[in-house]
Amino acid sequence: MNGLWSALGEIDALILALADSGPPRAQVVVCPPVTLLTEVCTRIAGSPIAGGAQDCHAEPAGAHTGDISAEMIADCGARFVIVGHSERRAAHGETDEMVRNKALAAMRAELIPIVCVGETEAERDRGEAKSRVDAQLRASLPDVADALALVVAYEPIWAIGAGRAASPADIDSMHWVVREALKDRYGPTGDALRILYGGSVKPDNAAEIFEVFNVNGALVGGASLKAAEFLNIVRAA
């Protein structure tokens, strides 16, 4: 819930900077609030940036006042949607099953779902981080996946907005868990799926995080609000 119309200059700055430095070798996606999504998708058209939303409803349409369907998001010109972010799971009671249905809805609308999983600090302290994430993956992911049409984001909840990312060693061991779960589930496709790390990714730690095996990108919150900071993360990628 960050970003008014007055923040759109950050998008323009990002488009300009990427045009100046040549096409990025990483895929760049911005997921603004849905109030800005159509305008952002219009501005990024023809640039290497893709648009996405931060949540969707599982149904295509109907009496769901205030909700936004995956079809509506696609209709804005977006190509991605984040589902199962820990803030949605915590504040809106979203279960793994609901997240899975949202991921399926995204696929139905030909959007690429970015499915988020991650453990709480208490779960980590109890030694349950791996089993928690494994269970979330089993229940939140669709049964069938195409390597380019699904993205998984591992976001330890204790690192989100904390200013303290997980250590490269912790990221490495958790991304192995995610990779193994994806291979179990999807076979060779599981090897090709992109796994993002999220949680306090900043310009000054992005390069070391991107070096970790099985880290195929980042899901950036706070540091994506300013074009200059986000751009430095894109450059690191």
Sites of contact with ligand PGA (CB under 6 A): 155, 160-161, 198-201, 219-223
Closest CA to 165 of 127, 133, 204: 204
Closest CA to 1 of 91, 131, 71: 91
Q: What Cα–Cα distance (Å) separates residue 56 from each residue in 115, 121, 143, 156?
A: 12, 27, 19, 22
Closest CA to 83 of 56, 120, 104, 119: 56
Catalytic residue among 10, 57, 71, 85: 85
Catalytic annotation on 85? yes
- Residue 61 beta carbon to ligand PGA: minimum distance, rounded to whole angstroms: 28
Q: Judging by DSSP bridges, how do beta strands 112-117 and 80-83 pair with one another?
A: parallel
3-class DSSP assignment, residue 25: coil
C-beta closer to ligand PGA: residue 186 or 197:
197
- Residue 102 beta carbon to ligand PGA: minimum distance, rounded to whole angstroms: 16
Point out the residue whose Cβ comes nearest to ligand PGA.
Answer: 221
C-beta closer to ligand PGA: residue 69 or 200:
200
- Residue 45 beta carbon to ligand PGA: minimum distance, rounded to whole angstroms: 26
C-beta closer to ligand PGA: residue 71 or 116:
116
- Residue 65 beta carbon to ligand PGA: minimum distance, rounded to whole angstroms: 26
C-beta closer to ligand PGA: residue 64 or 164:
164
Listed in sequence order, the residues at least 6 apart from 101 whose beta carbon sits closer than 8 Å to its beta carbon are 58
Catalytic residues: 85, 155
